[in-house]
Amino acid sequence: MAMKKPPRIKVPHSVRTGEVIEVKTLATHMMETGNRKDAEGNVIPRDIIHNFTAAFDGTPVFSAELGPGIAANPYIAFYLKVPGPGALTLTWRDDSGATTVERVELNVV
């Protein structure tokens, strides 16, 4: 299911080349496990964000393969060693085929 609102992303206001920074991300997603049943006893199909990737100007930085054991509204904080001026591209993919892409320009001083 496509995200109802865009993910929240937090990076430091200004960064230096070579600095290791934390990138905090929070997606909006129910992370339906596929183990629950509705009132009629039918299994509610699994729909989770199963893949998250981060790339800096096209070069992979970090990725995650997620299972239903990750909590709803997945929070993932990871690190980046800033190679220089450029932008981070963050991508979330879910079981329904929905893909959410966000781009964050770094303020390199």
Q: In the complex, which residues of this chain contact another protein (CB under 8 A)?
A: 20, 32-33, 35-36, 56, 59-72, 74-81, 83
Of 81 and 103, the one with the shorter C-beta distance to another protein is: 81
Can you say whether residue 78 is alpha, beta or left, with left for phi > 0 and alpha for psi between -120 and 50 degrees?
beta
Of 32 and 94, the one with the shorter C-beta distance to another protein is: 32
Reading the block at residue 13, the tokens are 């206001």
Q: How far is the CB of 107 from another protein (least distance, A)?
A: 18
Helix, strand or coil, per DSSP, at residue 51: strand
Of 2 and 72, the one with the shorter C-beta distance to another protein is: 72
Contact 6, 101 (CB under 8 A): no
